[in-house]
Structure 1
Amino acid sequence: MKNRMICLLLGTIVICLATHDLCMGMITKSRCKCAKATSKFICPKIWQDVSIFNQGSFCRKVEIVITLKGGRKVCVNPNTQWLQRAIFNLNERAKHTKEFITEESST
């Protein structure tokens, strides 16, 4: 009887730990993407992609991740002047490109 109780208790502990790890795995995928962000200048010529993640329930800060042409991802401080200027310039370029495409397709 005592061995049965010990086996039942151990089985319950194993199941609890296993489900806890599964739940923690889901939560950690939703956390902030950047543990540390740099303020150093990164030349826009070597950017491949820029991802902006707004604050939400799992991460309470805005995060900007720049993917470089080599595939490396770099977290950048969103408050740096050079980054704000570069994103503004990219948005302006995109506006002009869209207008150009729209004008061209309408004629």
Structure 2
Amino acid sequence: MCSPIKAILVLAVVICMSAAQLNKSRSCLCHDAANTFDPKVGIKDVTIYPATTFCNKVEIIVTTKNGSDFCLKPKAVKRMLANLTRRKVLSSKAAAAVGTSSTPGSANTTQQA
């Protein structure tokens, strides 16, 4: 192979690699991500892909029980986890309050003679 053809091929490869580096988001799996989702759909699997040199954002892909996939925004997942944690704390406090209450006539009441 003659050297001018080699030079052109090398130049073409460099140009293609440069274009790929400038356009990192094209290799991302999630192009549109949702802010919320309906929990009634049933989640089968959640896959989290960290940011890489090929895609500069964290991607969260949810697979439903019926086999469909969709992307969620990381902020939406943080918000949902915060809501679940808050609900769990509130429900555990309510359960503790119900468990410590005493009723009249129980062993906690005393009579004076």
TM-score normalised by the chain length of structure 1: 0.48
**Quick check: which one's helix share is greater?**
1
* Larger Rg, first or second structure (1 or 2): 2
